[in-house]
Amino acid sequence: MRRLAALLLILALLAAPHRAARACPFCSAEQSTLTEELDASDAAVIARLVRAAAPIEAANGPLDPDAGKAGFKVDHVLFGDGLQAGQTEIDAIYFGEPDQDASYLIRGSGEPYEWAIPLKLTDTAVEYIKRLQTLPEAGVERMAFFQDYLQHEDTMLAQDAYDEFARAPYPVVKGLKDQMNRQQLLAWIEDPAVSPSRRRLFFTMLGVCGTDDDIPRLEAMLVSDSRRLIPAAESAAAASFVAGGPLAGALSIEAVRLDERRKKLGLDAMIACYLTLRGPEGLDLIDERFLSGDKIGGKSADYSHIYSALMALRFLAEESDLVPQDRVIASARLLLDNPDFADQVIPDLARWEDWSVLERLADMYRQAGEEDSGVQKYVREPIITYLDVAAEQEGELAERANAALASIEELDPAAVKRARSLRAFGFLAQARPKVGAEADARPTGLSSVGDEPVVLAEDVPTEDLATDETDGDDLPDPAAFTAGAPSKEPSAPEPDADDLQEVMPAEPAEGVTKSKAAEEKALADTEPVPDEAPAEPAAQAVADLEELPDPPSRTLLIAAPTLAGVLCFGLFWVILRSGE
């Protein structure tokens, strides 16, 4: 059994998607790169169309297995045995517009080769793909090649270059500093047509090659605040309406909102870029704008903006040495006063070994859920995890943590049980989305700057959660099963004698007396029935039960579904093959 579990675990690890260690901190790879697709193939060629696919005619009979296949002649062999440029012809399914002047990338797998759907290439893409074969597998030289294609007019090449950067380790990106075009990066950042994911990459690169001259521009983007701009636009629109002016004021308000959203695209990377260039002093601006909890016009900072600031702090604490960690932690502590982020920052404080708030967190645990406390009840799980981690340390810190745990564990045993279960599986309870928050509250492209928040299954108060507090050692005594179980229905009170006298006549009628006398005589003539043997106590049956089996291991729980999915995928592939 153990060997089987080990094998399943290996298969699960092999089936899991590979992620480069310490990839670009704010970039999210959107699809496989051309290099990855070529590496997964047994053959690859660049070919030209020589025979278009025959049109498929509607019919009730079986389909021709060769329907849709077009003929291609190989121009260049990237790799693959038995293929010769200018001679080999291959058939591949292609329903696109036939173009005999264009080149196509065609990949093959298996033996004999099964050719994938051809990918139409521009002349630039042909040279790009040929060059891929000569690049180093990793390093600055490789990324310098892709840098020239980040915003190429050929969208396929631009996408591939971005995905290569998204997978590149941050130290490699930093190694490109002398080869980066700072002015071009600034132009791309200001371009409203640039997507948020690309903007994050460009901010990351600007943080590497930027100068002090870029700091005022970044500060202007950061301090821009719709909480101040929108009321002014609304006042101007109202004044224009009263004066009989045009009704364009509403459009101007919406334009302010759109401009603010555009400026804040990729805010996490923008903050990291600003702090990288500005240094520790820049955190004062970030604290005031996003983390302090100050309200303007009765409104707090946007949820997604605060989250982006937290992601930037994680980057500075774990991927950069430009800002002292103590200063980063001081900013992170501000979020303990924010009910929507307190439980999210607590795991970070534990990971960064900030034990200065230990007693404060114990007090927060006691106050959680109380009216006017400002502390949500779901903050208890991460606090227990924080204290458990502190208790694993040595010396006086462990004593403080154990004392705090002893004083609060009994307040909510269910929360303690959930927290330790989550930690056993590698999870930490973190912030739930703010009610009414924007759909884009979680920015995309967060690869390695911190733990992804884990939201509990149900957003209900702790006391309403159904929990099983019975452990295997607390099974009830079987002897107790022989005792009668109390009824759930309320028992009726026994009637008094006076009450019976009120509802019953004092003397029975004559007919009733004769009937009763006849019943008594019949009962006297009846042969008594012997008492039945007493039933065997239920305790004996319980005692005969076998010992409960052990629960399945965590490895089996994770690996078995993975293996089942792999087997189902293989079966589906066999079915597809059999239909050809």
Q: Which residue in this structure is represented by tokens 């009414």?
A: 436
For residue 578, pLDDT over 50 is answered with yes
Average pLDDT of the segment spanning 122-131? 96
pLDDT digits (tens, 9 = 90+) for 74-106: 999 999 998 888 888 999 999 888 888 999 999
- Could you tell me which of 129, 86, 123, 128 has the C-alpha nearest to residue 107? 129
CA 156 from chain centre, in angstroms, equals 28
> Cβ distance 344 to 304 under 8 Å?
no
- The Cα–Cα gap between 101 and 105 comes to 14
Return d(Cα 566, Cα 206) in angstroms, integer: 43
Residues 364-381 have a mean pLDDT of 79
Q: How far apart are the C-alpha atoms of 227 and 2, rounded to whole Å?
A: 60
Q: What percent of the chain has pLDDT over 70?
A: 65
In this prediction, residue 429 carries a pLDDT of 37
Going by C-beta distance under 8 Å and a sequence separation of 6 or more, which residues neighbour residue 454?
422, 427, 428, 429, 430
Question: Average pLDDT, stretch 320-347?
Answer: 92
Longest dimension (CA), the chain: 124
Between CA 375 and CA 367 the distance in angstroms is 7
Nearest to 226 by CA among 296, 287, 291, 290: 296
Count of CB atoms within 10 A of residue 258's CB? Answer: 11
What are the extents of the domains in the chain?
29-134, 136-202, 211-338, 356-433
Residue 574's pLDDT band (cuts 50, 70, 90): confident
Two tokens at 428?
């930490």
CATH fold group of domain 29-134: OB fold (Dihydrolipoamide Acetyltransferase, E2P) (2.40.50)
Read off the pLDDT of residues 435-477 as tens digits, 9 standing for 90 and up: 344 434 333 333 333 344 333 333 333 334 333 433 444 444 4
**pLDDT tens digit string along 294-316?**
887 778 888 999 999 999 999 99
Mean pLDDT of the chain: 75
Q: What percent of the chain has pLDDT over 90?
A: 42
Q: How far apart are CA 261 and CA 251, in angstroms?
A: 15
For 308, the token pair is 């982006």
Residue-level pLDDT at 124:
96
The pLDDT, as a whole number, for residue 401 is 92
